[in-house]
């Protein structure tokens, strides 16, 4: 029985990681393609992110003369943290790919570790734009993380556990009854945080290179070659993992409840559709909204925390 459980865990980890790694650049490409179509442009091809990554991974990085070991090793830490989070999220099936580790606090902590490493790397390069981008990113994260934790806390209270697999299984069992006011408020709050975390309008412009408006892109200005490819791929992978986390916590319907070929195939198909739907929503938001002034962003993140806190209060007081 122990061997079967181990084999199942290895299978789920391998399946999720392979799909996430292969699918992440494609999701980024669909966002760019949809935005281009909505703006009346042809846009880059679907394979363009793959070609960019292959090109940059084939080049040695050029380091700033002021950079130290932090900037050199931070890209690996950033990517490693996101990959670890991808392993823990129960996406294909409503069970933990790695038993005993799929706690929502651990997943949020891994995202925070990746952000911290990237901010340190931007500061270590000695670039003024890197320091400006990292300070803005850390300021936004300090406001976004409470909303993220409160939104997920509401689902944890409903399921009686902070384990993401338990939360996902509870949602599947609850069915349509899961979609109550508390759950919907938490889902909206989580959605606002996802927009902020992935650097889309109105929080950031993922296509800009205007120094005075950059947040995430400002931290990558001094990166090149393999380091740049690693950080860009980590950013693409983070979007996919956040979409999978949203699916597991708020819309777990369709995930496999048993480890068999049919349910796993259906769970994989439904999961990919959900991730693509999230990507298209982000593309539409980018096309409909302009980037807001930086000092207006705390109001949006405060709204996310307020919605999540309201949903949590409803969940606790009126379960």
The pLDDT of residue 242 is above 90: yes
pLDDT confidence of residue 185? 95
Q: How confident is the model at residue 319 (pLDDT cuts 50, 70, 90)?
A: low
pLDDT confidence of residue 3? 44
Of the chain, the percentage scoring pLDDT greater than 90 comes to 60
pTM over 0.75: yes
pLDDT tens digits, one per residue of 53-85: 999 999 988 877 777 888 889 999 999 999 999
- Structure-block tokens of residue 302: 């405060």
The pLDDT of residue 23 is above 90: yes
The pLDDT of residue 15 is above 90: yes
- 4 or 298, greater pLDDT: 298
Q: How confident is the model at residue 95 (pLDDT cuts 50, 70, 90)?
A: confident
- 206 or 27, greater pLDDT: 27
d(CA 129, CA 85): 29
Q: How many helices (H) and strands (E) does the chain have?
A: 10, 0
Q: How confident is the model at residue 186 (pLDDT cuts 50, 70, 90)?
A: very high
Mean pLDDT, the chain, integer: 89
Q: How confident is the model at residue 110 (pLDDT cuts 50, 70, 90)?
A: very high
The pLDDT of residue 277 is above 50: yes
pLDDT confidence of residue 7? 84
Average pLDDT over residues 117-142: 86
């Amino acid at each position: 029985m122990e061997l079967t459980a181990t084999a199942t865990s290895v299978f789920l980890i391998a399946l999720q990681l392979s799909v996430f790694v292969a699918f992440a650049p494609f999701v980024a490409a669909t966002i760019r393609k949809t935005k281009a179509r909505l703006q009346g442009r042809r846009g880059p091809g679907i394979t363009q992110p793959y070609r960019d990554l292959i090109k940059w991974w084939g080049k040695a990085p050029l380091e700033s003369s002021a950079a130290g070991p932090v900037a050199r090793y931070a890209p690996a830490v950033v990517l490693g943290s996101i990959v670890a989070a991808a392993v823990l999220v129960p996406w294909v099936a409503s069970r933990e790919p790695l038993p005993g580790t799929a706690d929502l606090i651990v997943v949020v902590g891994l995202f925070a570790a990746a952000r911290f490493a990237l901010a340190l790397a931007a500061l270590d390069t000695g670039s003024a734009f890197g320091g400006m981008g990292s300070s803005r990113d850390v300021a936004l994260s300090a406001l976004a993380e409470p909303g993220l934790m409160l939104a997920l806390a509401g689902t944890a209270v409903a399921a009686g556990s902070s384990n993401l697999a338990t939360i996902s299984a509870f949602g599947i069992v609850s069915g349509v009854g899961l979609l109550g006011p508390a759950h919907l408020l938490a889902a909206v709050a989580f959605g606002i945080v996802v927009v902020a975390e992935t650097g889309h309008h109105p929080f950031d412009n993922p296509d800009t290179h205007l120094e005075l408006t950059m947040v995430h892109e400002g931290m990558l200005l001094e990166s090149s070659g393999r380091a740049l490819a690693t950080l860009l791929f980590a950013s693409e992978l983070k979007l996919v993992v956040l979409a999978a986390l949203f699916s597991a916590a708020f819309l777990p319907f369709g995930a496999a409840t048993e480890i068999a070929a049919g349910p796993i195939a259906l769970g994989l198909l439904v999961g990919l559709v959900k991730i693509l739907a999230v990507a298209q929503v982000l593309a539409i938001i980018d096309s409909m909204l302009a980037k807001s002034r930086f000092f207006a962003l705390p109001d949006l993140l405060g709204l996310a925390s307020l919605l999540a806190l309201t949903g949590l209060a409803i969940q606790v007081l009126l379960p």
